[in-house]
Amino acid sequence: MNRAYWEDLADTYDDQIFSVLRRDREQRLARLIEECGDRAKTAADLGCGPGQITPLLATYFGKVHACDLSEGLLDRARAACAAFDNIHYHHLDLARGGRTPFPAADLVLCVNVIITAELALRERLWERVTGLVAPGGTLVLVLPSHESALYTNFRRLDWHLRSGLQAEEAISHSLTRQGSVSQLEQGVRGIEGVATKHYLEEEITVQLQDRSLRVEEIAKLPYDWNIEFADPPEWMGAPHPWNWLVVARRPA
């Protein structure tokens, strides 16, 4: 993982990184955490960033392990969660081997972490993240949707057509530099210039089944069009773009 990249973002994270909790139009993630909550259980926030979601976990679970690659982001998380005394912080690179400094958790939350463009690194992240789910425990993932990225491309094209452009001109204006054909076939697309893995629904199912987790739900986590476009027209409404919200369980 690119530790220097995340350290550089520590002071400007809120301005540059998509906040799933804040942008969740239906507050599905917050409701899910509350529903799963149990003060007798432990939660892990893998890739906690500046602690945007960690307080929710600390509210509903007895103990929380907050992990991040960046020391700067962990410092921000400590400040954001100062009111809680049940959070343990860990400077941890999930892509590296070695012993995890805490046992498998009853609930593992991992939001937009398994998104690196490098396949070998992604596979290590899948192994590490799923391996931290205790028997009988729950894994909650948020992942970028490849289907949503393709749908956004359609809406961009549709916008140009509605503006009066002819077909070929609309296509030309809609093309964006997304990377090589090989990357696109893997679902790797650019977000703010950073090559980012996007997932098919079926792809997520296979990744989890291969690691002995039972998929309970893969749902759309919709967000507003202004995340995709600087000034979307008023007519551009539902269906909205989305991330995948995934719930899976490890058999007891």
Q: Name all domains of the chain by residue range, CATH numbers in brackets.
A: 3-145+198-249 (3.40.50.150)
State which amino acid sits at residue 156.
R
Quick one: 69 exposed, middle or buried, by C-beta within 10 A (0-12, 13-18, 19+)? buried
pLDDT of residue 38: 97
What average pLDDT score do residues 107-123 get?
A: 95
Q: What is the CA radius of gyration of the chain?
A: 19
Residue 193 or 39, more confident: 39
Q: How confident is the model at residue 170 (pLDDT cuts 50, 70, 90)?
A: confident
**Number of neighbours of residue 176 by Cβ within 10 angstroms:** 11
First vs last C-alpha separation in the chain: 32
State residue 248 phi and psi, 5-degree precision. Answer: -140, 155
DSSP class of residue 230 equals S
pLDDT of residue 176: 64
pTM: 0.88
What average pLDDT score do residues 203-230 get?
A: 95
Position 15 pLDDT exceeds 50:
no
Q: How far apart are CA 197 and CA 185, in angstroms?
A: 11
> What tokens appear for 197 in the block?
């893995």
State residue 67 phi and psi, 5-degree precision. Answer: -125, 145
Q: How far apart are CA 188 and CA 203, in angstroms?
A: 13
pLDDT of residue 4: 46
Q: Could you write out the DSSP letters of every residue in 10-73?
A: TTTHHHHS--HHHH-TT-HHHHHHHHH-EEEEEEEEET-TTTSSHHHHHHHEEEEEEEES-HHH
Position 200 pLDDT exceeds 70:
yes
